[in-house]
Amino acid sequence: MPLDLEEQEQLDQFKAFWQKYRNLITGVITAALFAYAAYSGYQWWRNSQALEASKLYETMVGAIAKGDKDQTLRAADDLQKDFGRTPYAAMSSLIAARIASDAGDGNKALDYLRWAAKNASNDGYLALAKLRLVTQLIELGGEKDFAEADQILNQKPIAGFESLWLERRGDWYLAQKKNDQAKQSYQEAWKKLDQAKEFPEEARRLLKVKLDAVGGVSQ
């Protein structure tokens, strides 16, 4: 059926519009398709990675139950190497650090903590790794150890861990016999902790012991 004049005019306008903008429209559609394909591929990859990492983590848990330190640490190493972006890698590194430390291998423990403190994808594990690393460095007590701990503590605290950051700063001062600065840090930590009701009572008791050791809470 032949087009009337109005329909023919609309068709001509559409043809002109398409002729002018077809490259742009085609480019936008192509980019959107590529973005969707990339997102879908990433989601599949992430789910696949998490599944494989969980299997390796289960192997590590089994090794811990058997008391097989070597297999436990190998599993943690493999999780770091092959599945470093998953939470399992950081979680296993924290566990491996404790096992290595208990076995008397302090350097290996520090390596695991340093890896997790740099690579953990989960904020909670990242904060725990940094705080535990600082504690280990303070216990070592060397000049380089204090400097490394200071560098970590100068970083912005992970949200929700501000009071523990301040408490570790107090530990850092106290280990160097800077009691006044330690007391101030502990007092600031106490104020933060008093506002964070979700913290366990054990954390409050421990901080209170430290505060009492340097003169107590200011009123």
Domain positions in the chain are 51-141, 156-219
Q: Residue 219: its pLDDT value, please?
A: 46
Q: Residue 206: its pLDDT value, please?
A: 86
- pTM (predicted TM-score): 0.75
51-141 placed in CATH 1.25.40.10: yes
Query: 184: Cβ–Cβ under 8 A, 6 or more apart, which residues?
Result: 170
Pair 98, 134: CB distance under 8 Å: no
Q: Residue 9: its pLDDT value, please?
A: 61
Q: Residue 136: its pLDDT value, please?
A: 94
Token output for 90: 């950081």
* CATH architecture label of 156-219: Up-down Bundle (1.20)
Pair 132, 94: CB distance under 8 Å: yes
- Residue ranges for the chain with pLDDT beneath 50: 1, 3, 34, 37-42, 44-45, 219
Query: 71: Cβ–Cβ under 8 A, 6 or more apart, which residues?
Result: 59, 60, 63
Query: 130: Cβ–Cβ under 8 A, 6 or more apart, which residues?
Result: 117, 152, 155, 158
Q: Residue 50: its pLDDT value, please?
A: 73
